[in-house]
Structure 1
Amino acid sequence: MKTVEVRLPQEYDKSFIVFQEIGQFFPCPWHYHPEYELVLVLKSTGRRMVGDHIGYFDAGDLVFMGPSLPHVWVNDPEFFKGEAGYQANAIVVQFVDNFLGKPFMEIPEMDAFRSFLKRSSRGMELTGTTRTRITNLMKRMILMSGLQRLSALLEIFDILAHTTEYEMLASPGYVQNVHLKSSDHLRKINQYIMQNFQEEISLPEIASVANMALTTFCCFFKEHYRVSFVEYLNTVRIGHACKLISEKELNIVEAAAESGFNNLANFNRQFKKIKNMTPSEYRRTLNAAV
């Protein structure tokens, strides 16, 4: 499925974009852009696709995404048929990382926010009080202009910089660009996985990379990644397979082989476990979003 670059119109006297999408349905296809983006759904329901993640959205859904991450919001059929009884409605905020000048993003006060931006390459669903606070600000930003609107965006930055209320969306294997603020052990482990996941990686091998005993490594990995090494490796591989299916349009057997699976039955089993659908169903879902 071809991904297209889509750009929202920016007012000449504004340094970032605040855009309200109102219509029978959300018109954007499977797309990407160079800006960071916040998407708040005010009204509508449907499927939300971010990278290789497929989920469902309804009113109140709030997602933050980094640059160049493919995504699309596909309304439920009743919106396309004009039978929903109301219009789809969303607010979008977009900005580039240097919209206030590169020196601004490098000041000490922006350290925590820069770390948040690094984690956004996979997309995040924001939850809890973070979602409530940002939702209120985005609704008000529609009616703001000038310094008032900029001040509201900086307040959103501060909320994001200190929140832990989010769920990652796309898998690390889809983006292949995981930023970890942690020890040298995690950096070495992650780098090795991303460089070698298409080959066999044994537990003793990866433990050796981390310079740990096998038992110590297993406990360390589970503590930091919240899943076992094998579960994480399969997630990376399935994410890469999703990328191949969506971008290169490989057949299922080719995608499995190029993602490190030498057994098609195991690939299908792991895909269904991680994505809650078969590879063929995943492809059909992508095609339906075109």
Structure 2
Amino acid sequence: MNAVELHLPQDFTKSFVVFREKGAFFPAPWHYHEHYELVLVKKSTGRRMVGDHIGYFDEGDLVFMGSMLPHVWVNDPEYFEGEADQEADALVIHFTKDFLGEGTMKMPEMEKLKKVLKLSQRGMAIKGKARAEIDRLMTEMPEMPGLLRMSNLFAVFQELAHAEEVEILASPAFVQNYESLASDRFKSIMEYIMQNFDQKITLEQVSGVANMSVTAFSNYFKDQFRMTFVEYLNSVRIGQVCVLMSETDKNISEIAYNCGFNNLANFNRQFKKHKGMTPRQYRKKLEAGL
């Protein structure tokens, strides 16, 4: 499934857009657009994909994303099946890099904001005190008149620029390759991995998606990522294992199988290679709050 480039509607009476996304579920597909985007989930749970990062969201989840970064929020099954006890609900802000005009971003007061905008190219999950304050500011904005709404946006920028608890989402390799190559072939490969990492993926399958021979694909992938396809796939799977270990009480073996590892010995070996400790040691650190 290819990422869709969305051309977002522009309200020419406003320099930026803030709106509420509310309904049975969040409808947008795996997509990207030129706008910077801030997403605050008020109600709902599910899985979000930002670049090559997969994580789970629930109420209060706050993510800031840069221009052209592919992403999607997928609600849990009960929302699609009409069995959730509440509607999905999120607040969203969209703005373009030049919405304040070229001269504004050259002002010295904007230096910290420019650094945040650069980091947002990988996606940023905002947590802690900054998340709580941005939640308050965004919740007020839809009903505000123009100048007050703009004032709250600058207050949001202030919180983003000084946030101490931030998780950077997509890998540098993903962003660098996605931006520099911007090719249908590369996008197809990455989207296939992100949609199927929890299943068995063979070199024959993914090279077919790229419309390349296995040898050509292997060389192409290693040239772009400085690692083999299997090494990259394992890194994506281990990343998802860590998310599930931190957010669920499922046993480690079940998590490993759910993330595409069908051999526990290989899983344990790969986990220690990537994290420098065993899965059990990692979970004990999580439980100890380390």
Matching of residue 272 in structure 1 with residue 237 in structure 2? yes
Query: Secondary structure of 2:143's partner?
Result: coil
Q: Which of 201, 218, 221 matches 1:259? A: 221
**Contact 1:30-1:70 at 8 Å conserved across structures:** yes
Change (3 A) 1:264 1:25: closer
Distance 2:21 2:33 in 1: 17
Distance 2:228 2:2 in 1: 28
**Contact 1:64-1:124 at 8 Å conserved across structures:** yes
Equivalent pairs counted in the alignment come to 222
Matching of residue 171 in structure 1 with residue 141 in structure 2? no
Change (3 A) 1:266 1:39: closer
**Contact 1:46-1:75 at 8 Å conserved across structures:** yes
Distance 1:51 1:264 in 2: 17
1:223 counterpart residue number: none
Matching of residue 102 in structure 1 with residue 102 in structure 2? yes
Q: Which runs of 5+ in 2 are unaligned?
A: 181-186, 196-205, 242-258, 263-290
After the TM superposition, which of the residue ranges 169-178 and 262-271 deviates more from structure 2? Answer: 262-271
Aligned partner letter, 1:49: M
Query: Secondary structure of 1:98's partner?
Result: coil
Aligned partner letter, 1:119: L
**Contact 2:24-2:82 at 8 Å conserved across structures:** yes
**Contact 1:39-1:63 at 8 Å conserved across structures:** yes
2:190 counterpart residue number: 242
- TM-score with structure 1 setting the length: 0.68
**Contact 2:189-2:210 at 8 Å conserved across structures:** no
Change (3 A) 1:37 1:75: same
**Contact 1:126-1:165 at 8 Å conserved across structures:** yes
Residues 35-73 of structure 1, C-alpha deviations (whole Å, 9 max, x = no match): 111000000011101011111101100000000000000
Residues 187-244 of structure 1, C-alpha deviations (whole Å, 9 max, x = no match): xxxxxxx9xxxxxxxxxxxxxxxxxxxxxxxxxxxxxxxxxxxxxxxxxxxx997367
**Contact 2:221-2:228 at 8 Å conserved across structures:** no
Query: Secondary structure of 1:26's partner?
Result: coil
Distance 1:244 1:76 in 2: 21
**Contact 1:173-1:240 at 8 Å conserved across structures:** no
1:76 counterpart residue number: 76
2:16 counterpart residue number: 16
- TM-score with structure 2 setting the length: 0.68
**Contact 1:241-1:258 at 8 Å conserved across structures:** no
Question: Where in structure 2 are the equivalents of 1:10-49 lying within 5 Å?
Answer: 10-49=10-49
Aligned partner letter, 1:272: R
2:278 counterpart residue number: none
Q: CA RMSD in A?
A: 3.2
**Contact 1:64-1:123 at 8 Å conserved across structures:** yes
Change (3 A) 1:279 1:52: farther
Change (3 A) 1:111 1:79: same
Distance 1:268 1:241 in 2: 11
Distance 2:102 2:54 in 1: 34
Distance 1:93 1:86 in 2: 22
1:143 counterpart residue number: 143
**Contact 2:40-2:63 at 8 Å conserved across structures:** yes
